Structure 1
């Protein structure tokens, strides 16, 4: 960008503003051509160009996401320096948003700055009402074109979404194929990346924390989804495994709108298990760090509700109320008691029924089929509306009802009756399988099954009195252990 020339004494002082909306490769070709033509006009008119402002790859519509930094500097310059004429290649370069364009016209009129539009081959004097109206109408036309462009884009996006076609950034784990002319053919699985996703999903489904997975991926040097990222992050693993695109679903505006036309990477059950684990609100209050103590996440103080943390007490470690030291219990004593209770429950022949007494075989698949049927029905109504067989108001009413029912069915389809981590643990020999789990997986089991609350020590008790856990309960049970649910 040019700077003000010291000692400039020309009769007419001009500034140039150039802008282009899309320049993904940042080659600046379009803005460079605009600047060249604007400078040529200045030379032909014997105007001296004092400053050039350039916004490359910046939209000027009301939908713009990036700020036009140079445009803001231009406004300041026009307000604070002597300028006779502003040169634009065309009116829309100055703005496609009506309020902003009107502001520019008013600013130029206040400071007696004329506007020359290269494509019009004309200089406008804003003190002249006809000239002001012409440029104001240009602003209306530019804003209207912007709205039409936006609508065309949205219509194309909606059509692609309805047909299951991909749109926007490439989903990690896939690659896109094109013909010799560069036309899109299909989105297919990128096997090397897909295995990263499948491994992460298997590990999360088995109870492993996202942080340990991210650390392992970084240690192994596995490339991240985006170049330039500084390693895998905990939140990145979680977000990735909750993307419905990995089970072949097309998402539009945050909602699943149907089946995608690319193959799924994950099976529906594994995805549902991961989503169930990752969206469980009980996990939000636990730090996803390296696990050292079995109950330092799940155990709560029954007096104040705070979490118990591990603290050394002279000769031994104990679980202590983190807030007010209301309760304290030796770590080994509490852990041995809780594990014994868990093993007894998981070894029972009816353990699966106890884990989910309301489970019904195939309920998740039926919910998924219901969502698919209702989405197909909604598409039929859309087609009927396109044939003018139903009024817009009628379609809107039907759409509201069906979308609510589809959302409810999809929510039920994501529910997992019993996570694989628990399902593979129950039955005879549970103790041996328990010992083979990592401590992180063991703690995940405790979190899934128990609402563990530890009360104050009973006077005179030398070992763990079970009454201290009377207000604990099994997840999903209406009764506490003290009420006979143990």
Structure 2
């Protein structure tokens, strides 16, 4: 009499693995197939996922969901569920128990390849054994999580590289023995890659000289400059690249915070520290020195968004005052809308709620331009926005830095007379290091370039209108946003016609100052 062959379907899962310690789905399937042949099991279609099964996993496992649906819906269609090891199913006890219950309800047994054992879920000892496996898997997951967090914290304190390699750098690796005795790769050094680093330096240099991100995007597209994956550098990618602090040999420590109401995750910056890799310009053949690049980096941060100022990133600016002018009703920004007037012309419209509209767009533009040009014609405005304003404070900060650095040198050169004395010296060194870092940040802020001088060509008052006319629109917009704020000329708010003396644009403007 011919024995009836059992049928089985596999569930394969491998975590995202950079260590080389995980068995791939192909490896798991090979082991499963060998054991199935030995036991006389015919394997059918399989389920396969890539990703974590721990409670911290953010990515859903699509095939695991399909597996549970097939089991609960009675469409699994096999005698055995085959898994390489128990943790492939889940590292969450509740989820694992649901899988056991679903298999038991459909009289499906579970074959674990590494155990070389088939578990009959109608037998309480087998169920108990698998439940213990789920607790072991959870404990292993928690232990691994603690180890990873500990390693990341240690790497951060030492400034070591980890995670994705920033564009512009190359990374070397060292082979070491893991806790399981396997040879795995660990990051060693991160150094500038000259070919990519030159592109990074070009990006910062062009932004500082006034080129928009949109202009750079189009130019790089024509020249065939792409990311490592062969994708084009979009405006958003260029913007992120221009804000990457790793280029000045720093790294930022982040913490993920979960909003209790919405459940959304948000990264919060906890601080920054010196990294173990050099500044992006620190390589043979670099057109600028590392020190010059650090100054360039902070100059670009000022242009991109320091103190709420942001140049137009897209390079497609057509209207100088759009988003700078505000609706007096809802305080939302006003933008230019085409075909908004009876004659098909352009008008300023409240973007948030459509509270009101200014049909005389040209009249408002001319009025605000007149105000800005009158301000720019005053010679003292450059001094008021430049470094002279902070010269006394800057001298004070630098004097404090000299004192703090001398104290730090003296502290480090002092020999400890006891363990208690050594602890006090270490505590004082940490305190002085923190104070010096704060003072250096303040010094950097006080010596940043004059933002107005960077955006607008200086010259005699008589030529201000001509200089404004030849200034690119994206720079005009940045100047408007810089000047038309409550701390300088005032924020421009437009009120309804019925709340104004007349329908004239000038009468509808309210200047909000602080």
Say whether the fold is shared (TM-score over 0.5). yes
Q: Using the alignment, how far apart are the partners of 1:411 and 1:263 within structure 2? A: 19
Deviation at residue 226 of structure 1 after TM alignment: 3.9
Corresponding position of 2:207: 204
Q: What residue in structure 2 maps to residue 239 of structure 1? A: 240
Matched, 1:68 2:61: yes
Distance 2:400 2:189 in 1: 26
CA distance in 2: counterparts of 1:460 and 1:134, whole angstroms = 83
Distance 2:385 2:307 in 1: 22
Alignment partner of 1:423 is 2:449: no
Counterpart for residue 338 of structure 1: 371
In terms of mean alpha carbon deviation, does 173-182 or 435-444 score higher?
A: 173-182
Match of 1:99 among 78, 94, 101: 94
Deviations 1:413-459 (A, max 9, x none): 78567644423558654637656632322332222122345787977
Maintained 8 Å contact 2:160/2:275: yes
Cα offset for 1:296?
A: 4.3
- Answer whether contact 1:174 1:193 (CA < 8 A) is retained: yes
Deviation at 1:186, TM superposition (A): 1.9
Range with bigger deviation, 32-41 or 408-417? 408-417
1:215 aligned to which of 215, 218, 232: 218
Question: CA distance change for structure 1 residues 434 and 200 in 2, over 3 Å: closer, same or farther?
Answer: farther
Cα deviation, residue 367, structure 1? 13
**What CA distance in whole angstroms lies between the structure 1 residues aligned with 2:507 and 2:387?**
26
1:227 maps to 2:260: no
Q: Name the structure 1 match of 2:262.
A: none
Counterpart check, 1:445 vs 2:479: yes
Deviation at 1:210, TM superposition (A): 2.5
How far apart are 1:251 and its partner, in Å? Answer: 2.0
- TM-score, normalised on structure 2? 0.68
Given that residues 320 and 473 in structure 2 are in contact (C-alpha distance below 8 angstroms), is that contact kept between their aligned partners in structure 1? yes
Kindly report which structure 2 residues correspond to 1:8-407, keeping only aligned pairs within 5 A, or say none: 10=4, 12-22=6-16, 30-55=24-49, 57-79=50-72, 80=74, 81-178=76-173, 184-223=187-226, 225-229=227-231, 231-253=232-254, 254-265=269-280, 267-279=293-305, 288-300=314-326, 307=334, 309=336, 324-326=356-358, 328=360, 330=362, 333-334=366-367, 337-345=370-378, 347-348=379-380, 351-353=382-384, 359=390, 361-362=393-394
Is 200-209 or 414-423 further displaced after alignment? 414-423
Contact 2:309/2:478 (CA < 8 Å) preserved in 1? no
2:377 counterpart SS class: helix
> How many angstroms does 1:286 deviate by?
7.3
Give me the whole-angstrom Cα distance separating, in 2, the residues matched to 1:135 and 1:119. Answer: 13
Q: Secondary structure at the match of 1:362?
A: helix
CA contact (8 A) 2:372 2:483 kept: no
Q: Aligned pair in 2 of structure 1 residues 417, 319: CA closer, same or farther (>3 Å)?
A: farther
Distance in 2 (alpha carbons) for counterparts of 1:410 and 1:111 = 68
The alignment partner of 1:137 has SS state of helix
1:16, distance to aligned residue in structure 2 (A): 2.7
Check 1:249–1:116 CA distance in 2 against 1; reply closer, same or farther (3 A cut).
same
Distance 2:146 2:396 in 1: 38
CA RMSD of aligned residues (A): 4.8
2 CA distance for matches of 1:213 and 1:429? 32
- 1:323-361 per-residue CA deviation (whole Å, 9 max, x = no partner) reads 53446264584366235313322x23x632256896455
**1:132, 1:368 → 2: CA distance?**
70
Instruction: Between 243-252 and 414-423, report the one with greater CA deviation.
Output: 414-423
Give 5+ residue unaligned stretches, structure 1: 1-8, 381-386, 390-394, 479-486
Residue 374 of structure 2 aligns to a residue whose secondary structure is helix
- Tell me the secondary structure at the aligned position of residue 251 of structure 2: strand
Separation in structure 1 between the aligned mates of residue 8 and residue 329 of structure 2, nearest angstrom: 76
CA distance in 2, matches of 1:114, 1:454: 73
- Provide closer, same or farther for how the CA distance between residues 470 and 89 of structure 1 changes in structure 2, counting only shifts above 3 A: closer
